[in-house]
Copies of this chain bind each other. A is one copy, B any other.
Amino acid sequence: MKHAAKRASYQAIKADVLQRIRDNIWPPGTLLPGEIELAEEFQCARATVNRAMRELADEGVIDRKRKSGTRVKTAPTRQAKFTIPLIRLEIENAGKNYRYAMVHRQKQTAPRWLCGRLALHSAAQVLHLQCIHYADESPFQYEARWINLSAVPKAESESFEKIGPNEWLINHVPFTEAELTFSAKSATKDIAAMMSLSEGASLLTAERTTWLSDAPVTYAQLYFHQSYKMTTRI
């Protein structure tokens, strides 16, 4: 009885299906009509319906299984997407002046905790760096980084005086996998001093471990300034 819109594009189908889910016409758990049926309703090819439904599945709105069909997810797993830009670009895009300073650089044997985290053997050599990223001369991010020199030997010949390790690594070393962890940490005395904060200030902290096809490349702790907020729309 439904007067289907003619020549619907896959986006229109997506929107329409989403609307029906939102309007509770198809409540959570409902088994949706098959692709052929929907294709008839929307007056389009099955491939077009397939694309619409596939994208809805990718976005976590519906579940699809061969033979079983398509169901509206009961607990829709909305997923937030954060783009992780270069800190320099983030500062510059905010209309501020970016400045970078390295405060420490040392080749050393990997400490125990790092060996565990990166699965390094106990005598592995790493390059330890500490640096600060400024926005308009006020400290914006403190970066503590360890680079696995056996995976990235050419890092040893880079001074990191002019370019930050994060930016250098992105430009010189691709990666296949990364683990990213966000948490809130209190500023230690050292970090507070470097970032012109009071000791114990709450800092949004990102920890990042990066691999290049199973070889551990680098581990970094990024401490953001108190004022920093990470925002996304979903």
Residues of A within 8 A of B (CB): 21-22, 24, 28, 60, 75-86, 89, 170-171, 174, 176-186, 200-205, 224, 226, 228-234
Contacts and interface: CB of A to CB of B under 8 A. Distances in A.
A224 B182 CA distance: 12
A83 B79 contact: yes
A104 B228 CA distance: 30
A14 to B, nearest CB: 13
Contact of A178 (B77, B228, B233): B233
A234 B174 contact: no
Given A80-B81, A180-B234, 8 more contacts: A75-B86, A76-B170, A78-B83, A79-B83, A179-B231, A180-B233, A181-B231, A186-B200
B233 A177 contact: yes
A106 to B, nearest CB: 28
A80 B180 contact: yes
Contact of A180 (B28, B75, B204, B232): B232
Given A22-B174, A202-B203, A226 B184 contact: yes
Contacts of A200: 186, 200
Contacts of A82: 79-82
A89 B75 contact: yes
A231 to B, nearest CB: 5
Contact of A202 (B182, B202, B224): B202
Given A77-B85, A78-B84, A80-B81, A231 B22 contact: no
A79 B79 contact: no
Contacts of A224: 184
A181 B79 contact: no
Contacts of A76: 170
Contact of A186 (B83, B180, B202, B230): B202
3 nearest A-B pairs in the assembled complex, by CB-CB distance: A184-B184, A202-B202, A184-B202
24 contacts: A21-B174, A22-B174, A24-B174, A28-B171, A75-B170, A76-B170, A77-B84, A77-B85, A79-B82, A79-B84, A80-B82, A81-B82, A179-B231, A180-B231, A181-B229, A181-B230, A182-B229, A182-B231, A183-B204, A183-B228, A183-B230, A184-B185, A184-B224, A186-B201
Nearest to A60: B83
